Amino acid sequence: MSRKIIIDTDPGQDDAVAILLALASPEELDVLGIVAVAGNVGLAQNAINARKVVELSGRTDIPVYAGCSRPMRRHLVTAEHVHGETGLNGPDLPDPVIPLQAQHGVDYIIETLMNAEPKTITLCTLGPLTNIAMALVKQPAIAERIQEIVMMGGAYFEVGNITPAAEFNIYVDPEAADVVMRCGAPITVLSLDVTHMIQSTPARLKAIKALGNQSGEAVHAMLTFSETFDLEKYGWDGAPLHDPTVIAYLLQPELFEGRHCNVTIETASELTMGMTVADFWHVTGRSYNATWIRTGDADGFYALLTERLARLP
């Protein structure tokens, strides 16, 4: 039986690749819906981008919703400097034809969880956690009904990518991240600690382009655009690929290793705002609330990604 998931996202080239990976894997993942959130760019553009990616995949049966247009307490910080003005620069994708659903994304999340059997829906979060936190605040009963929250966010051993201490998704809305980390649902965190190992080297990008399909061409164009910033910053052979690790973890968890520990979000210090303080070595005595993924098999990940992208138009 395929695992039911809702994808919460701010697409983003790497978000787009994650969505494509999920939609190319219907035997394992039943994507109930996609909810856009403000993050890499503003909400309206992210909702357009999500529909573009759905249409690229050929899975136009997947409904797309728009959630929150700003963080819970802060002004929105965006990342056009990485993702381009549209958030999805690189490929020339047509304007979407499928409609944006009228229901607010937060209400969709609540309604879907409340109407489903408990512990049967996984939330896959690829952007700031505003929508998930607002759903938990509006209807706290959903916490015990969530099967798992699998998120891309945070960093500990690799520290920050938007500030010296904070990863972008958490930094944009640290209060939301704090709500989520305290909610009591099972949580798995794919942080920069692992995504920095999952590098889109020229050979791996070449293999994706060589698939010869529209999706492979688009992914190659996306990652070729977005990698420019990271290649200059890090000086590595390839740029990290963040969000698709969430989907890969659901498909092949054996590719990843980590441990159960306490993760706390810094919400008070301007110096370390949004830092994910992972008690990886169990030194605080605080109760465990998340599985922190530290390492991943990059070759295995790209073999999976390339094989699944080949299934798409």
Tell me the pLDDT band of 52, cut-offs 50, 70 and 90: very high
CB 62 within 8 A of CB 55: no
Tell me the backbone φ, ψ of residue 179, rounded to 5 degrees: -60, -45
Q: Could you give the CA distance from residue 88 to residue 69 in angstroms, rounded to a whole number?
A: 18
CB 65 within 8 A of CB 33: yes
Q: What's the pTM?
A: 0.97
- Tell me which residue of 258, 264, 263, 262 sits closest to 294, measured CA to CA: 258
Instruction: Please report the pLDDT score of residue 30 as a whole number.
Output: 98
Lowest mean pLDDT among 227-231, 243-247, 300-304: 227-231
* Cis preceding-peptide flag for 12 (omega within 30 of 0): yes
State yes or no: pLDDT of 1 exceeds 90: no
Select which of 104, 242, 260, 282 is catalytic.
Answer: 242
- Tell me which residue of 37, 36, 17, 35 sits closest to 25, measured CA to CA: 17
Lowest mean pLDDT among 133-147, 159-173, 224-238, 281-295: 224-238
The pair of three-digit structure tokens given for residue 266, joined into one six-digit string: 């810094």
Q: Could you give the CA distance from residue 243 to residue 251 in angstroms, rounded to a whole number?
A: 14
Mean pLDDT of the chain: 97
Q: For 295-309, what is the mean pLDDT?
A: 98
Instruction: Please report the pLDDT score of residue 273 as a whole number.
Output: 98
Q: Is 242 one of the catalytic residues? A: yes
pLDDT digits (tens, 9 = 90+) for 198-242: 999 999 999 999 999 999 999 999 999 998 888 988 999 999 999
State yes or no: pLDDT of 57 exceeds 90: yes
pLDDT digits (tens, 9 = 90+) for 108-149: 999 999 999 999 999 999 999 999 999 999 999 999 999 999
CB 148 within 8 A of CB 184: no
3-state secondary structure 119-134: CCEEEEECCCCHHHHH
- Tell me which residue of 136, 10, 167 sits closest to 72, measured CA to CA: 136
State yes or no: pLDDT of 168 exceeds 90: yes
C-alpha 292, offset from chain centre:
15
